């Protein structure tokens, strides 16, 4: 017998089914080519040829002459079928061995591994020589029951509804509490820009006096060292830190557990430190009964969480839109197929309903009027009109007669057709489209990968910088206290200089953390 080899050629420039027909028709005429199958969406041609007569490179050249781009694909393992089965009735390792050895002896099975613990079998096979139904039959003949691993057809892994809800909630909580905090902050800023010293008190207008008075209300101390402003900010900050930041804490914990630092780690670090520092400073001030209210950072966490949770929420909404389209595509796939056995003169001998995944290449599939085509194929018998609008967007039905190609997922309208399956499983046009959309969703833009890589270095870098800031100010303070005194106004005379220095150093390093944290990298 003549040896027949198989090669795959990547074909570019095909626009429609007529291109496919053109390539197939012309190449079949060539010497040494047994059969050719072209998949439009995958841009791939599978050619079976006689290596004594023709080479893959020559085949690619023939396709090029027809006006398409063609390159021979090196890794030809693409054509292997993969089958995941659940096998029931195995009791011990010898059962596993029996199944594996029998399957490996079967012609066309390339690889097989059976796991006793999970009752699963993973089989790679050559779809030319053997099909999933044959494999299942072999296992059944050995006395085990077997079924396909049920694929989740609902595309639930592409559903972003839960994340959208969670980030929306996070955003709303942060936003509600952020507004009053920002209001207080802006109010204090405006008020503090007016001088309110006792010296100028008597020559102020009554309005100014009024303004400085209301600013005093916020500075008014409920307890020694605890001003109304700080107390209100603290109350508003707690819910945000807990509810708004909940998801960030979880993500950050997971990241740290695996020894990586992502944006969430920075957010959590900055907000927690800002919150804890402010809280501790308040306690210290109350313990000291300080006359001057300490500077706190309670306004930082709510504002950070607002921006970042808004960003995450928008991101998931956008992802959800693409996923919706994809889920609709997946729902177009037929779930079952009617396989028929033909006798001489195309007489129907028998028919059976099987799962779409079990249709093998070369099977004869019957499609009734109103039914969906389960696989890509060629019409053998029957005439009908077919609605292919899911691929072409063309609402007018297309006439199909023996020899026409049909696309999986399109709808048969008025006549019953018998088709021979040419592309099954993951090779059908519809599966290829789904795969392309999925890949487009999962692959990152190069700039995004770059940003992710940077943020990996960025987090430790910022932490290091803020630690350096802390140490630098402590050293400066102990060397020359005057500098710290110049920048750190309003500390009470009753505290030791060492404490002033450490407080100021902490304030500086926290500022670094807080400012660098929501940096555009993280938000973008």
Is 198's pLDDT higher than 50?
no
Calculate mean pLDDT across residues 39-62: 86
Contact 262, 203 (CB under 8 A): no
Write down the residue that tokens 């791939």 correspond to. Answer: 44
pLDDT at 333 over 60: yes
DSSP 8-state class, residue 395: -
Nearest to 503 by CA among 518, 490, 517, 516: 490
Q: Does residue 240 carry a pLDDT above 60?
A: yes
pLDDT: is 289 or 54 the higher one?
A: 54
Reported as a pLDDT band with limits 50, 70 and 90, residue 364 is very high
For the segment 347-368, the average pLDDT, to the nearest whole number, is: 89
User: Domain ranges in the chain?
Assistant: 5-73, 81-148, 157-191+219-323+445-516, 335-429
pLDDT at 259: 67
* Cα–Cα distance measured from residue 101 to residue 404, given in angstroms and rounded to the nearest whole number: 42
Lowest-pLDDT range, 225-234, 358-367, 439-448? Answer: 439-448
CATH architecture of 335-429: Distorted Sandwich (2.70)
Q: What is the dihedral of CA 135, 354, 418, 46, to 10 degrees?
A: -40
First to last CA, the chain: 63
The residue with tokens 């994340």 is 163
Mean pLDDT across the chain, nearest whole number? 80
Mean pLDDT across the stretch 449-464? 74
pLDDT number for residue 93: 82
Mean of pLDDT values over 387-415:
90
Average pLDDT over residues 355-374: 90
Taking residues 203-212, report their average pLDDT.
Answer: 51
Confidence of residue 199 (pLDDT cuts 50, 70, 90): very low
Top-tier CATH class for 5-73: alpha beta
Percent of the chain with pLDDT over 90: 13
> Which whole number is the average pLDDT over 198-205?
49
**Residues 6 or more apart whose Cβ sits within 8 Å of residue 14:** 20, 23, 38, 40, 43, 68
User: Could you say which DSSP state residue 147 is in?
Assistant: E
Mean predicted confidence (pLDDT) in 314-319: 78
Written out in words, the top-level CATH class of the domain with range 81-148 is: alpha beta
Q: Which span out of 5-9, 378-382, 457-461 was modeled with the highest average pLDDT?
A: 378-382
Q: What is the pLDDT of residues 12-45, one digit of tens each?
A: 888 777 788 888 888 988 888 988 888 777 788 8
Q: What is the mean pLDDT of residues 97-118?
A: 88
Give the residue-averaged pLDDT of 109-125.
87
- Phi and psi (nearest 5°) for 120? -110, 145
* Residues in a beta bridge with 145: 88
Weakest mean pLDDT among 178-187, 203-212, 217-226: 203-212
Q: Whole-model pTM above 0.75?
A: no
CB 38, CB 78: distance < 8 Å: no
Q: Is the pLDDT of residue 455 over 70?
A: no
Do 5-73 and 335-429 show the same overall fold?
no
Of 154 and 456, the structure prediction assigns the larger pLDDT to 456
- Asked if 94 and 143 count as a contact pair (C-beta separation under 8 A), the reply is no
pLDDT over threshold 90, residue 447? no
CA distance 404 to 397: 14
User: Please, which pLDDT band fits residue 299 given cuts at 50, 70 and 90?
Assistant: confident
Model confidence band, residue 242 (pLDDT cutoffs 50, 70, 90): confident
Q: Find, among 148, 154, 151, 103, the residue nearest to 130 by Cα.
A: 103
Task: Indicate if the pLDDT at residue 200 is higher than 50.
Answer: no
Is pLDDT above 90 for 225?
no
What percent of the chain lies above the pLDDT cut of 70?
82
Kindly report the backbone phi and psi dihedral angles of residue 45, in degrees, each rounded to the nearest multiple of 5, phi listed first.
Answer: -115, 135
Of 332, 341, 335, nearest to 365 by C-alpha is 341
Position 45 scores a pLDDT of 87
| pLDDT at residue number 402 | 93
Q: What integer pLDDT is reported at residue 449 of this predicted model?
A: 66
Which DSSP state fits 149? P
pLDDT digits (tens, 9 = 90+) for 151-170: 655 555 556 777 788 888 88
């Amino acid at each position: 017998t003549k040896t027949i080899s198989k090669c795959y050629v990547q074909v570019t420039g095909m626009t429609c089914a007529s291109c496919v027909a053109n390539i197939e028709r012309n190449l079949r005429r060539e010497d040494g080519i047994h059969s050719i199958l072209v998949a439009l969406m995958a841009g791939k041609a599978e050619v079976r040829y006689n290596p004594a007569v023709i080479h893959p490179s020559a085949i690619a050249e023939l396709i090029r002459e027809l006006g398409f781009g063609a390159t021979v694909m090196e890794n030809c393992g693409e054509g292997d079928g993969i089958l995941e089965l659940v096998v029931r009735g195995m009791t011990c390792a010898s059962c596993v061995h029996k199944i594996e050895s029998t399957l490996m002896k079967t012609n066309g099975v390339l690889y097989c591994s059976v796991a006793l613990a999970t009752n699963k079998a993973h089989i790679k096979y050559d779809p030319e020589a053997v099909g999933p139904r044959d494999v299942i039959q072999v296992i059944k003949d050995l006395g085990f029951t077997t079924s396909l691993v049920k694929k989740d057809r609902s595309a639930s892994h592409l559903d972003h509804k839960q994340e959208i809800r969670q980030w929306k909630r996070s955003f709303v909580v942060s936003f509600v509490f952020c507004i009053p905090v920002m209001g207080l902050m802006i109010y204090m800023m405006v008020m503090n820009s007016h001088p309110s010293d006792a010296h100028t008190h008597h020559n102020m207008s009554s309005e100014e006096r009024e303004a400085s008075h209301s600013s005093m209300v916020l500075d008014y101390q409920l307890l020694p060292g605890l001003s109304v402003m700080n107390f209100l900010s603290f109350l508003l900050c707690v819910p945000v830190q807990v509810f708004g930041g909940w998801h960030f804490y979880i993500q950050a914990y997971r990241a740290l557990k695996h020894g990586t630092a992502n944006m969430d780690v920075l957010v959590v670090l900055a907000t927690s430190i800002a919150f804890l520092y402010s809280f501790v400073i308040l306690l210290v001030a109350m313990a000291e009964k300080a006359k001057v209210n300490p500077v706190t950072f309670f306004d930082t966490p709510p504002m950070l969480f607002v921006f970042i949770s808004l960003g995450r929420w928008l991101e998931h909404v956008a992802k959800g839109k693409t996923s919706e389209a994809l889920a609709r595509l997946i729902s177009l796939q037929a779930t079952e197929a009617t396989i028929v056995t033909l006798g001489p003169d195309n007489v129907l001998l028998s028919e059976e309903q099987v799962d779409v995944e079990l249709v093998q290449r070369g099977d004869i599939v019957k499609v009734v009027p109103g039914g969906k085509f389960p696989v890509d194929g060629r019409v053998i018998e029957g005439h009908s009109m077919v609605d292919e609008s899911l691929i072409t967007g063309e609402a007018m039905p297309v006439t199909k007669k023996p020899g026409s190609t049909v696309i999986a997922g399109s709808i048969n309208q008025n006549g019953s057709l018998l088709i021979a399956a040419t592309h099954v499983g993951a090779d059908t046009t519809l599966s290829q489209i789904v795969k392309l959309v999925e890949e487009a969703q999962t692959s990152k833009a190069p700039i995004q990968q770059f940003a992710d890589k940077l943020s990996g270095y960025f987090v430790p870098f910022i932490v290091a910088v803020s630690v350096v800031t802390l140490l630098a100010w402590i050293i400066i303070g102990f060397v020359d206290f005057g500098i710290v005194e110049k920048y750190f106004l309003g500390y009470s005379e009753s505290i030791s200089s060492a404490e002033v220095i450490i407080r100021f150093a902490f304030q500086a390093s926290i500022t670094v953390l807080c400012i660098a944290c929501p940096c555009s990298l993280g938000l973008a």
